[in-house]
Amino acid sequence: MLTNPPVVAIDQSLEGRQTRKAVVFYDGACPMCRREIGHYRKRRGSAELNWIDVSRPSPELDAYGLGQASAMARFHVLDENGRWQTGAWGFAELWSHLPAYRWAATLVRRLRLLPLLDAAYTRFARWRLRGRCLQASCGSGDR
């Protein structure tokens, strides 16, 4: 059965407000994440996105109403309409802004692969975060 993207609570100040650019929240302290995001940031279209490193507490996270622990636990993209896209839906949103990856976003959406990909992503994200926490490098508590 197909499911919709996970619903994420959004800060009241963002509701109904259209953002100028989509915002990508990534873990800049994770070597694998940093390489992948670095790759995307070199692609055409990446200047049209805002990029926020969530590996350290920041006022930017507070401004978006996103706790550091939540941001570290799952990939987040705030789309241009102020809606949160997380996990596989977040990657599809990111890809849709990069001309070299639009085909991937279109493919996973049309074939309705996002629920399956999100299940795999969720398992991976738990494994990644567990490894970071064992190394005592996970984020501070969430609000």
Q: Which residue has the higher pLDDT, 7 or 85?
A: 85
Residue 136 domain-assigned?
no
Query: What mean pLDDT is predicted for residues 83-108?
Result: 98
Domain containing residue 23 = 16-129
Residue 138 domain-assigned?
no
Query: Residue 50 pairs with which residues in a beta bridge?
Result: 23
Residue 115 domain-assigned?
yes
Q: What is the pLDDT of residues 97-129, one digit of tens each?
A: 999 999 999 999 999 999 999 999 999 999 888
Whole-number pLDDT of residue 19: 54
Residue 18 has pLDDT above 70, yes or no: no
Residue 4 domain-assigned?
no
What is the rounded distance in angstroms from the CA atom of residue 60 to the CA atom of residue 52?
Answer: 8
Q: What is the pLDDT of residues 28-53, one digit of tens each?
A: 998 999 999 999 999 999 999 999 99
What is the rounded distance in angstroms from the CA atom of residue 129 to the CA atom of residue 81?
Answer: 29
Residue 8 domain-assigned?
no
CB 86 within 8 A of CB 36: no
What is the rounded distance in angstroms from the CA atom of residue 110 to the CA atom of residue 113?
Answer: 8
Whole-number pLDDT of residue 7: 42
Residue 43 domain-assigned?
yes
* Number of domains comprising the chain: 1
What is the rounded distance in angstroms from the CA atom of residue 25 to the CA atom of residue 58?
Answer: 12
Question: What is the identity of the amino acid at 27?
Answer: D
Residue 107 domain-assigned?
yes
Residue 134 domain-assigned?
no
- pTM here? 0.80
